[in-house]
A and B are shown apart, each in its own frame.
Chain A
């Protein structure tokens, strides 16, 4: 072996990047700062791409803010879209805390919607049942549907060590096809690809329902689901941060071996967490059909289940932070309905997620610019 001399550099910058591992704790403000920075940079990159393909980024951005936060009516629209996102984001948060990659929230959402519809369409209640019995029953059924769809991959993982990423994803397709079968077939409303409209008792109360007393609320579609979602966020926060089960989930996620030695039943927790995660996504499905569309139909989700993954990550798996992040993404969806081309919203989501996980590097390492000596 001969050692070759280091090649002579013709040109080098007088500065260099020094990367070193953080020894002290990460500053408390940094995770939030990286999330916000990621979103800003993602918007910038999306703007550049838009410019390149001949769009007008500034016009689109101004349109974006007007269409999503410009008036009380559109704020209400944004929050309507944020509602299922909060619930789905929470579901992903719970699973990801245990490093269970549940990317089947989409399917769990559809199964939740399907099971909740059973209450009305089977029917499980009489036609003149009151709202107080129908709504809670639909919530429970929605959660059961989602939990069932979470149980299958959870069980397969716990029992046969089957990769949950693929199974949850495959079950998404199955759930959508299953719903289609019923919508196109037995429950079809006069041949249309949707079920008949639910009775009023199955509708979550909306702001516009109170327009008679408060005329300003007229036309606002914001429904009770948003309160359910916020309540769910608080409950999930309590479970993860204050309960014994939450501690088990987090410990298993951080260090599986340590958890095993501590006597935690990992197999059981895999199944339970997948079911809990699925139940939250199922509740989102229930809230969507009961609060927004008032019937079961095709395409009730424009990919909420997948957006939930990004939301959970952008919120750094903090259940409370899921709420503001969901509102931002709700805005993206509201604006995305009108922004062309159609893939822009998915592109933006991809860039955001990339920025977030890249910026995680800054939480683990210190990067500074130093003079080359």
Chain B
């Protein structure tokens, strides 16, 4: 129950959720709800692991993971953008497809050891008392990339012209179309970006945070938690990051709670009967639900909410919203 250890673990596992959630924010901001995150993550985890193993090069592994996630997401893009299918059902099928593909292609990967993402201290920053050991010491490169990624994602969405186009096609696609923005092409692009980031999130698991290929257990529902986080975060990268890191820390704290025999002066019930651990394992899922309730209430209060065109196919020439 060491605070530093819990925070450090939170940053590492939070990075997984961070990539997946920000990817999903991009897709949803463009108006396409992609529920296939879990499938894309698992395929990315498999592809990254497998490519890193085959080429003995972790960077090629990460690239393969992103491409795998991105290519898979294009199935969702085609079906929802041009064929105008229901985005919920298409996302679900993407989960099945990605999970199935990953399990079929990942046969026999268990127990192998590919090169992993390197970990290192950031010079100078790691010397800062208290914060240094938590944030800047002995983390994987992906964690540091995650730090830079949050402000970059925010800046892109709110302060750049392409970011404005992104918001426009998600809020009022027919208006964006009138202004000469290619709604279809951009939606494909952002679904692809979402897929790439979900793939990267998968590789973050298999090549960095908990290295290895454990078939469906590799992601164990984190893709769904990421989707929940997006709603909690109100489609904002900063809030998504906060949620992701908090969640990561919580998962670690839950593990650590089972260790000590005495907790806050009381006998630790988890120490005596480890079966109570099942209730602890429930907490991330229950907390996701609570986070959703909080997020949904805040949305109602601030009259904020999902991008207005989220889930609605854009059909050129038809009356819009």
Contact = CB atoms under 8 A, between A and B. Distances in A.
Interface in B78-110: 79, 83-86, 88-90, 92-107
A180 interface: yes
A64 interface: no
Nearest to A342: B103
Contact of B101 (A169, A313, A340, A347): A347
The SS class assigned to the B binding surface is helix
Interface residues of A, number: 46
Contact of A161 (B105, B224, B296): B296
B228 interface: yes
Interface in B187-233: 215, 221, 224-225, 227-228, 231
Contacts of B178: none
Given A53-B105, A343-B99, A350-B96, A166 B288 contact: yes
Contact of B100 (A103, A162, A185, A347): A347
Given A163-B296, A166-B227, A350 B83 contact: no
Contacts of A349: 96, 100
Given A166-B224, A313-B89, A177 B96 contact: no
Contacts of B98: 350
B83 A181 contact: no
A354 B282 contact: no
B246 interface: no
A161 B306 CA distance: 12
Given A165-B35, A178-B282, A357-B86, A346 B292 contact: no
Contacts of B103: 341-343, 346-347
A173 interface: yes
Contact of A357 (B85, B281, B285): B85
A174 B94 CA distance: 23
A57 to B, nearest CB: 13
A34 B123 CA distance: 61
Interface in B277-318: 278-279, 281-282, 285-286, 288-289, 292-293, 296-297, 299-300
B96 A181 contact: no
A199 B285 CA distance: 35
A127 B88 CA distance: 47
A350 B97 contact: yes
Contacts of B96: 306, 310, 346-347, 349-350, 353
A173 B285 contact: yes
Interface residues of B, number: 51
B110 to A, nearest CB: 12
A346 B273 CA distance: 36
A132 interface: no
Nearest to B225: A170
A364 B86 CA distance: 13
Interface string A347-362: 1111101100110110
Contact of A350 (B94, B105, B215): B94
Interface string A2-41: 0000000000000000000000000000000000000000
Contacts, number: 143
A287 B282 CA distance: 26
Contacts of A237: none
Contacts of B224: 166, 169-170
B75 interface: yes
Nearest to A170: B285
A174 B285 contact: yes
Contacts of B299: 161
A344 interface: yes
A160 interface: yes
A163 B292 contact: yes
Contacts of B106: 343
A328 B300 CA distance: 44
Nearest to B42: A343
B100 A346 contact: yes
B89 A357 contact: yes
Contacts of B227: 165-166
Given A174-B285, A357-B79, A357-B89, A49 B231 contact: no
A163 B232 CA distance: 11
Given A344-B100, A350-B96, A181 B278 contact: yes
B79 A170 contact: no
A171 interface: yes
A177 B281 contact: yes
A264 B101 CA distance: 44
Contacts of A218: none
Contacts of B83: 357-358, 360-361
A177 B280 CA distance: 10
Contacts of A364: 84
B104 A166 contact: no
Given A160-B296, A165-B88, A185-B273, 12 more contacts: A53-B104, A156-B289, A161-B299, A169-B221, A171-B285, A174-B282, A178-B282, A180-B278, A340-B107, A347-B104, A350-B101, A361-B84
10 contacts: A166-B292, A170-B225, A177-B278, A177-B281, A342-B215, A347-B101, A350-B96, A350-B98, A350-B99, A360-B85
Chain A to chain B: the 8 pairs with minimum beta-carbon distance, closest first: A343-B103, A347-B100, A350-B97, A350-B96, A353-B93, A346-B100, A357-B85, A181-B278
